Every structure is written in structure tokens, then in C-alpha cells.
Amino acid sequence: MAWENERIDINVYSQGEVDRWVYSTCNICSVGCGCYIAVKDNKIVGIKGNGEHPVNRGRLGPKGENQWYANNSPDRLLTPLIRNASDNLVPTTWDTAMDLFVEKSREVLRTLGPDGIAIYSTGQGFLEDYYTIAKIGRAGLCSHLLDANTRLCTATTQWALLESFGADGSPAGYQDIDETDTIMLFGHNIAETGTVLFERIMSRRLRGEKPFLIVVDPRRTLTADAADIHLQLIPGTNLALLHGIMHRILRNDWIDKSFVANHTVGFDEMAKSVEPWNLDLTAQVTGLPKEQIASVAEQLGKTPSLVSTTLQGAFQSADATSTCIAINNLHLVRGLIGRPGSGPFHMAGQPSSSTNRTVGGVGSYPANRNPSNPKHIQEMAELWNVNPSHLEIGPEKDIEHMIYLMESGQLGLFWNIHTNPMVSLPNRLRARKAFEKTFVVVQDAFLTETTEVADIVLPTAMWGEKEGLMENADRTLNLCEIAVPPPTGVKADFYILLDYAKRMQFMDKDGNPLIQYTTPRECFEEWKAVSRGRPSDMTAMTYEKIKKKNGIQWPTNEQRPHGTTRLYEDWVFHTHVDDTQSFGKDPNTGRERTKEEFKRIGANGKAILYGLTYYSPAERPTPEFPLWLTTGRLVWHWHTRTKTGRAPNLHMAAPQGYVEIHITDAEKLSICPGEVVRVVSPRGRIEVPARIVDTVLPGLVFVPFHFGSWEQNQAANDLTVDFVDPVSKQPIFKQSACRIERIREKHIITQGETLESVAKKHRIPVDELRRANKLAPPYRIDIGHEVEIPSIANVVIPPYTPFREVDVNPRFRQSKLPVTRLDSPRGKE
């Protein structure tokens, strides 16, 4: 294990000892930390890390430690709601709500057909939920409109893996991070988005060991601060950088010729595409110094082992899939895959977004089956005992396509499960109009920005109140047990899905109920049969075994009963025509390849190298919108804050939105620290305080995307562009154009007034008044002179200690709320 020792992070709020600790897994991010839930008087009262779990050895990050507060939030929904004739959501019974849901579903199926209904789910559900969504959606409704917020998060992971290796599933895992010589964190602010995994990397570095750390990010983040080399490139130039690196690697012959010859196809085309990318061109496009590019290329060209991780800085940028494929290309030409300490590791964001991809709730058919291969469709039809002609053929449809269908009246019902698209979707003002034209069903534990456009709201159980499995970013299946029953009136997503299937009378071809399992465990047994023989085979897993081993990585079957640490150790890839999960797409245009085109590639078990074309972002700064806008997460919050916003510690740490502006841009615009400014893009405008920093590049502003209340006007996604990557269809959140406008009162100087008296009157420091008005010494102002009065807000965000170097007595404290830690290495369970 990477960790030298365990350290039990614990956050409990209880009078006296807790009654019991219940085995679980953190439900926030894709790192997948093991934990125990504290229960007292049948109520969740806290959490502690699982010291034996290899992922975290007891450690938890701030979001993980505080996730349980939301379970006890007084505004939990406890009854279904339906929208009445006066356009208000009013309480109703489950029967009434479900009858209406079913009636509306039947009406839409009758009038618009199967593709009149879309299911849009989450990355925070369980395997059993997703598998049931796949079965209901594909074999029950016969719809191909299954997507999830994973489209905004990890769709690019999936497509990059399909294109290069023929199947989903990250080749490398956490153990490789422990063993590698070099880590490249590409668009991956791991210190804030996966805090415990960052600690794991840093724990080696604190011992004076490797890895050498390369960070690629246009912002100087906490992660970048820890790097040996930080490549702070111009937004939207990821692929240009990788082309420049590959150019150097090829020119210096730092390649594994034997690996390339025996285990890849497409080398010549790939080499040709990087030919023009010498240091001059790469430096010119990326804005990076030539010496830095050369130095990184040498490190990547010579390192004996390498793990490259990617996250939203790659996935949500221009050339997203191409960027991740280029990283795969790099590993393949160096032969750094399938070996200890090596491999591309395209991350997931949410705790179980990978599960959704694996079991077919989103993306392709269950267990890595190819929706364009009749053989795979036939297999699914046999496994589900349905007519194969009822299963739709071809690649999945994405959320932006669904929005188009809503706008054009072709989508009659949108079923939204445990996600909040009215904050998370790009260009959300357009999305809201589309939702308002559609019958919307929302499953959630709370009223959210999305329930404002819902016609039915179904209250759901949360983490700790339901049972199931989650798959983290490195293919590890983890178990979540039930700590307490859901509040009265609330149901788990799984049982809502089963109820819907029963009421809709979905049948197999023999007239038996399509869904016959009645519990998550029975569902998992059915899933295991579906997974048999496929890349994500889980036939040798059980809930008990997963718990006993604190997680198991797929594939786990008779041949590999203890799971699989890394993929492709035999260097045989899933690129045989009847094995591959997809015939792929042209990486430059997104056009789907036919089976014949795929065959012509001739991969047959070899990995595929691609020639890739760099395209700059579709939207760029202009004279009217002269700044780049990028968005992202804070360490204190997760996504739309439905849970983290209800944890007092996290809410207090970061209660509102803001915009980060580089100091030189702030000076040009005479913006004061904390001044409320208007950020305007071609799509919308928000008003937020300015944080003046030197961590973004000049010409770039950053807005955290968590804050989406319709009342507050701080939503980053009022601004973002809704273009998508041509292959993965993931929105390009990271590159839009914007401008900053001042919002100021005017004040005319009258007899007897001084700058000091004006500042006092408007309650701002006199220095800020001078700065705002670009006044120079001796600061004279005459009667009748007009001065601008900025409005200043407090945007102090407490600093976060990205790793806790003292084990039992960490210096990390977030608030005055009771936060205790055990003195012994392991607490009572």
C-alpha cells in the first residue's frame, strides 16, 4: 500500500458514543474512499475513514467528512409533489404521482414513440440503479435516449478508451500511481477534486521519493503549486502541447519500436500529424517557453514509467477526445501501458459515473457491448429475453441532442434522476426554455433549481439509506450498506424504478415481467450473468467478498478471482471486430465508423494510434468579449451543492460565487478586490465579487460553477458555451469568451466633501475609492467632479491544507462545529 500508515479521519456530532458504525464508501467523488457511517438513535450522526481500505487507509477529504449533514437537513423532501393548474408544486401521494407518471409515459409512447421519452440520470447512483435504468430504458421503453450528468463529466474518458483500446476501463490504477516514476496530471486539479488521492501522491513525495510531477493547467492551482513543472498554457491548446511533445519524442527516437510494431497500428498516420509541431510552433500556439516544452518532452520521453491522469481540464476543453487519445498515443509509442507504474488513467469525476458507463445506463450497451454490432444486440436480447428488434441500434444520444428534441417538440417526457441540470448544463438559460416545453419528472432528495421546471417530484433516499455498489475511477467496486432506513415517505431510486416498471407492465417476450429481481442483491446477480465473458466481467464478485476485501477491481472472474490491478498486461486490446465496444468515430470529425471501416483498420487485438488535428476553440475572445472564461470546482463543494451546500462547514467555507481576475486585468479595468462586477458572455450575465489573483493567466477569468440559484445571478453556466466535443459530445465548459463590466453608483462631489468623507459615507476604504477612480496623488477632487462608487463584498475563502502531514493530530480544522479525531490508529467499529 502507498500509505505508510493509516489515519482515521472522523467527524461525528453526537452526545455520547454512537450506537453503531456501518460499512460504506464515500459518495462524493470518484476516488472511492472507504468509510464507516456513525449511527445513533437511528440517525446518521457522522463518518470516519476505513483504516483498512487500500484507497484511503482511513483518510477523508473535507467533502467526504461533511457529506452526512445533508441526510439530516430539515428541508428533505418527504412526499411526492405534482404541479397543479396554478403552476405550483403541491404534495400528493405516491400512488397519485406514479399513476400520473405512467399515464404521461403511455401518452408520449403513443404520440411520439419510444424516443419521445428520455432518461437523464446521475454519477452518484449505484450499479443496481443504473442497470435497472438500462433495462427499463432499452428493453422496456425501447428508447435510445439514455444519458446522465456523466456526459458533462466522463464521456470523454469512455470515448478515448474506446477509440484507442476498443473498450472502456482505465488501464492504470492507484497502485500504478504508487509505483510510477512520473505522473502527468493533465487538466486535473486533483488537490481540490480528489483530495485523498492527492495526499496519496504527496505522501510519497514527503518521504523524499518520486514521482516527478508534471501539471498542465492554465490556472496555478494547489496542484500546480506542488508540481516539478507546471505548464500554464493558453486555454484550448491542450492538443497543440501534446503534438509538440510527441514531435520531440519522435525526433529523439524515444520510442519503444518493438512495442509499436507488435502491439499497435496507425503509427505512420500519427507521426505525420505531429510533423509540423516543432518547438517554435508549439510555443507560439500554447504560449509556453520552448525550453519548458523541451524539458517536459525529455522527461516524458525518457521516464521508465509514467501515469498520465486527465480530468475536466482535458475533458471539457476543445479537442477533448483528441487530447485524451494523444495521451494514449504517448503511452503506446513509449510502451508504457500494462506494466507496473504505467498507463493512461483517464479519471472519472463522480463516485460512480464509471458504474453507469459499465452497466449501460449511459453510453453503450451493458458490459461493454457495442450498440452497432448485431451480435452484441442479439446477446443482450437473449439475456433479457426480449425481441432483438426492440433494442435500438447505434451510438447513444447525448443531453444536448435531447435539448434539441425538447426545443423541436420531439421529446415529450424527460425523466431526471438524482441530478440538477438546471445548474450543471452549459448555456442553461437556453436549456431552461427547452425543459419548460417538456413534461419533466425529477427524482431528488431536495427541491433544487431543476424542480422549478418539474411536473412531478419524487423524494428519494440518500447515501446511507440504501444499499448498492459503486465503481470508482480505477475499476474498483465498493459497497455501500444501509445505515438507517430512509425517512418516512421517501423511497430509494432502485425501488422507484422497479415500481415504474411494474406499473408500465414491461414484459419479456414470454409475457413474464421484464424485471423479476426485487432487491439490489438479486439485481447484482442478474448483472453478473450479463457481464460474463466481457471486459467488465464481475462473475466472481459478491457483496460479501467486496466488503471483505474492501473493494475489488474488475474484471473479476474464475481466472482472476481477486480482481485485476491493471488492464492490458498481455498487450492484447479489445479491438477484434466482434469484441470491440464500438467501431469508433473519426476522432477529428466525430463521424461514426462502419463495421467495414473498423475492419479496414486491421487492429485485431492491437491498440490504435491516431493522427489528430488541432482545432482551436470554437469560441475565442473578440473585441466585444476580450477575455477567456473558464469554470471549475472548489475544494469545498461538489457540483451544484445539493449536498455540500447543506453541510455547515462547507457552506461557511465558500458560501457564494465569485470571479477570479488577473491582477493586470484588474488594474486595466480599475477593479477593486471584492468589488461586485458583471461578467457578460454572448449568452448571459452574472454579478459576482472579484477576487484579484495572480494564479490565472492575464486575459483569463475563472468562475466556480457550483452556485446556480435562480435568485442570486451567480451561475457560471449562464455564461458558458454549449458546443460539444464531436466524439464524446461532452460540453466545452472551459473555453468561452466574456467581458467584465463595472457596476457602480455615481457620486457628484459637493461643497465640503473630501475623498475621505465620500469613502466613509459609502462604507468603503478610501484607498479602494482612489483605485476605483484611478486617482493619482495628490488626490484632488473638485466640486462637481463625478466619482464612481464600487460595491465591495467579502469573498475571503479559507485556505485549504491540501494534505495533512501529521497523522494522528492533524492541523486541519474547518469550523467550530464539533470535529473530533480518534487518538488510536483505528477507532471502535
Maximum separation of any 2 CA atoms in the chain, in Å = 92
Q: Minimum CB separation from ligand SF4 for residue 594, in Å?
A: 41
Query: Under DSSP, is residue 203 helix (H, G, I), strand (E, B) or coil?
Result: helix
Interacting span for ligand SF4 (CB under 6 A) from 24-32, 405-413, 594-602, 622-630:
24-32
For residue 253, the number of C-alpha atoms closer than 13 Å in the C-beta half-sphere is: 1
Backbone φ and ψ for 468, nearest 5 degrees, come out as 165, -175
Regarding 64 and contact with ligand SF4 (CB under 6 A), the answer is yes
Strands (DSSP E) contained in 387-546 are: 413-417, 439-444, 456-459, 468-471, 476-480
Distance CA 607, CA 256 (A): 14
Q: Minimum CB separation from ligand SF4 for residue 353, in Å?
A: 13
Distance CA 97, CA 443 (A): 12
- In the window 500-559, what residues touch ligand SF4 (CB under 6 A)? none
| Identity at 759, one-letter amino acid code | A
The b-or-e profile of 253-270 (16+ CB within 10 A means b, else e) is ebbeeebbeebbbbbeeb
Single residue of 58, 61, 657, 731 touching ligand SF4 by CB under 6 A: 61
Task: Give whole-number Cα distances, 100 to 118, 120, 417, 448, 798, in Å.
Answer: 17, 19, 17, 21, 47
Q: 501, 514 in Cβ contact below 8 A?
A: yes
Query: Under DSSP, is residue 150 helix (H, G, I), strand (E, B) or coil?
Result: helix
Nearer to ligand SF4, 33 or 177 (CB): 33
Interacting span for ligand SF4 (CB under 6 A) from 57-65, 132-140, 439-447, 672-680:
57-65
Q: Determine the angle formed by the axes of helices 238-251 and 267-274, rounding to 10 degrees.
A: 110
Interacting span for ligand SF4 (CB under 6 A) from 12-20, 23-31, 366-374, 745-753:
23-31
Single residue of 12, 22, 31, 440 touching ligand SF4 by CB under 6 A: 31
Query: Under DSSP, is residue 295 helix (H, G, I), strand (E, B) or coil?
Result: helix
Nearer to ligand SF4, 140 or 468 (CB): 468
Q: 345, 30 in Cβ contact below 8 A?
A: no
Q: What is the DSSP letter of 716?
A: G
Q: Minimum CB separation from ligand SF4 for residue 352, in Å?
A: 11
Ranked by CB distance to ligand SF4, the top (closest) residue is 64
Regarding 802 and contact with ligand SF4 (CB under 6 A), the answer is no
CA 604 to chain centre: 32
Nearer to ligand SF4, 31 or 411 (CB): 31
Other Cβ atoms closer than 10 A to 21: 20
Nearer to ligand SF4, 26 or 454 (CB): 26
Nearer to ligand SF4, 350 or 539 (CB): 350
Interacting span for ligand SF4 (CB under 6 A) from 193-201, 281-289, 592-600, 617-625:
193-201
Distance CA 678, CA 701 (A): 12
Q: Minimum CB separation from ligand SF4 for residue 52, in Å?
A: 15
Residues whose CB falls within 8 Å of the CB of residue 717, separated by 6 or more in sequence, listed in order:
423, 424, 425, 426, 427, 428, 631, 705, 708, 733
Q: Minimum CB separation from ligand SF4 for residue 646, in Å?
A: 15
Regarding 60 and contact with ligand SF4 (CB under 6 A), the answer is yes
Nearer to ligand SF4, 61 or 366 (CB): 61
Cis peptide before 211 (omega within 30 of 0): yes
Q: Which of 445, 541, 558 is nearest to 128 (CA)?
A: 541
Q: Determine the angle formed by the axes of helices 238-251 and 320-333, rounding to 10 degrees.
A: 20
Regarding 46 and contact with ligand SF4 (CB under 6 A), the answer is no
Edge-to-edge strand list for the sheet holding 34-40 = 10-12, 43-49, 34-40, 20-25
Q: Minimum CB separation from ligand SF4 for residue 196, in Å?
A: 4
Q: Minimum CB separation from ligand SF4 for residue 825, in Å?
A: 18
Nearer to ligand SF4, 125 or 194 (CB): 194
Single residue of 6, 12, 21, 32 touching ligand SF4 by CB under 6 A: 32
Interacting span for ligand SF4 (CB under 6 A) from 59-67, 260-268, 328-336, 617-625:
59-67
Single residue of 8, 18, 26, 245 touching ligand SF4 by CB under 6 A: 26
Nearer to ligand SF4, 200 or 210 (CB): 200
Interacting span for ligand SF4 (CB under 6 A) from 102-110, 189-197, 462-470, 811-819:
189-197
Nearer to ligand SF4, 195 or 714 (CB): 195
Single residue of 195, 299, 536, 681 touching ligand SF4 by CB under 6 A: 195
Regarding 673 and contact with ligand SF4 (CB under 6 A), the answer is no
Q: Determine the angle formed by the axes of helices 127-134 and 493-503, rounding to 10 degrees.
A: 20
Regarding 37 and contact with ligand SF4 (CB under 6 A), the answer is no
Nearer to ligand SF4, 337 or 348 (CB): 348
Backbone φ and ψ for 444, nearest 5 degrees, come out as -160, 160
Interacting span for ligand SF4 (CB under 6 A) from 27-35, 103-111, 710-718, 807-815:
27-35
Q: Minimum CB separation from ligand SF4 for residue 215, in Å?
A: 18
Q: Which of 184, 174, 337, 176 is nearest to 262 (CA)?
A: 337
Q: What is the total count of residues that contact ligand SF4 (CB under 6 A)? A: 14
The C-alpha cell of 26 is what? 464515500
Q: 579, 81 in Cβ contact below 8 A?
A: no
Query: Under DSSP, is residue 445 helix (H, G, I), strand (E, B) or coil?
Result: coil
Q: 375, 365 in Cβ contact below 8 A?
A: no
Single residue of 12, 29, 109, 700 touching ligand SF4 by CB under 6 A: 29
Other Cβ atoms closer than 10 A to 245: 26
Q: Minimum CB separation from ligand SF4 for residue 424, in Å?
A: 17
Interacting span for ligand SF4 (CB under 6 A) from 30-38, 656-664, 693-701, 754-762:
30-38
Nearer to ligand SF4, 33 or 480 (CB): 33
| Identity at 324, one-letter amino acid code | C
Q: Minimum CB separation from ligand SF4 for residue 191, in Å?
A: 10
Nearer to ligand SF4, 434 or 552 (CB): 552
Nearer to ligand SF4, 33 or 117 (CB): 33
Single residue of 8, 28, 672, 690 touching ligand SF4 by CB under 6 A: 28
Q: Minimum CB separation from ligand SF4 for residue 468, in Å?
A: 16
Q: Minimum CB separation from ligand SF4 for residue 456, in Å?
A: 31
Interacting span for ligand SF4 (CB under 6 A) from 191-199, 561-569, 602-610, 783-791:
191-199
Regarding 33 and contact with ligand SF4 (CB under 6 A), the answer is yes
Q: Minimum CB separation from ligand SF4 for residue 197, in Å?
A: 6
The 3-state secondary structure of 621-676, one letter per residue: CCCCCCEEEEEECCCCCCCCCCCHHHCHHHHHHCCCCCEEEEHHHHHHCCCCCCEE
Which value, in Å, is the radius of gyration of the alpha carbons in the chain? 27
Nearer to ligand SF4, 506 or 638 (CB): 638
Backbone φ and ψ for 587, nearest 5 degrees, come out as -65, -20
Interacting span for ligand SF4 (CB under 6 A) from 54-62, 522-530, 594-602, 679-687:
54-62
CA angle 264, 269, 270 (to 5 degrees): 70
Interacting span for ligand SF4 (CB under 6 A) from 22-30, 736-744, 757-765, 794-802:
22-30
Q: Minimum CB separation from ligand SF4 for residue 195, in Å?
A: 5
Binding site for ligand SF4 (CB under 6 A): 26, 28-29, 31-33, 56, 60-61, 63-64, 194-196
